[in-house]
Structure 1
Amino acid sequence: MLSIEEIADILKVSRPFAVTLADAGKLGVVETGDGQRRISAAAVGTYCNEQRAKARHALDELSAISQGAGLYSPDVKKGRK
C-alpha cells in the first residue's frame, strides 16, 4: 500500500493532484484507521497503463488528422520535401 506522497512521486504529479485523483476514486482509495489514504501499487499501475493508452490513442488520432490534412508525409520525416 502506498501513501499519497509516494503516489505523487510515482505519477510525477503534485501531492494535491494525487489527492484529487484519490478522492475521485480513480486510484481505488483505501482509508486507514488514522485517516491517511493508502492506495495499492496495482491500482496505480492500472491507472498509469490507462493513461498511457489514452495518450497513445490521442497521438494516433492527431497523426491521422495531420496526415489527412497533408501536413505529414514519409518524405518529410526523412528530411526530404
Structure 2
Amino acid sequence: MPRDFDATSAEGRMLSIEEIADILNVSRPFAVTLADAGKLGVVERGEDGQRRIPAAAVKTYHSERRAKARAALDELGAISQGAGLYGSDVKKV
C-alpha cells in the first residue's frame, strides 16, 4: 500500500477508483471491474457520477488477497520441498 494510506484513519473515508488502483497496485480499469463486481463492498456514486468505495472495504480486500497469495506461496514451497528441490544434493549450475 502507498505510504500515505493510513489504515488507522481509513474508517469512514471514501476512496476514488484512482486511489484504489494506486493502493492495490492495479490498473484503473481493473479497479472499476472489482468495484462493479462487488468485490470491494458497497459502491457509492457522488454527484459527479464517480464511484466511491469505503477505505475499510479496500483494506479488507487487500488483506484477504495478501493472505491468499501467502498461502499459495507456502503451498508452492511445500510442494517444492517435497519434490526435493531444496535438498543438499542439488547441483548448482
Q: TM-score range by the shorter chain?
A: 0.7 to 0.9
Matched with 1:79 is none
Deviation at 1:12, TM superposition (A): 1.1
SS in 2 for 1:39: strand
Q: Which runs of 5+ in 2 are unaligned?
A: 1-13
Whole-Å separation in 1 of the counterparts to 2:58 and 2:46: 21
Alignment of 1:21-40 (within 5 A): 21-34=34-47, 35-40=49-54
Q: TM-score, normalised by structure 1?
A: 0.84
Q: Which has the higher helix share?
A: 1
The 8 Å contact of residues 27 and 44 in structure 1, kept in 2 or not, is answered as yes
The 8 Å contact of residues 35 and 43 in structure 2, kept in 1 or not, is answered as no
The 8 Å contact of residues 30 and 39 in structure 1, kept in 2 or not, is answered as yes
Whole-Å separation in 1 of the counterparts to 2:59 and 2:71: 18
Whole-Å separation in 2 of the counterparts to 1:30 and 1:8: 15
Report whether the alignment pairs 1:67 with 2:85: no
Percent identity of equivalent pairs: 83
Matched with 2:72 is 58
Q: Which runs of 5+ in 1 are unaligned?
A: 77-81
Report whether the alignment pairs 1:9 with 2:27: no
Whole-Å separation in 2 of the counterparts to 1:44 and 1:11: 8
**Matched length:** 76
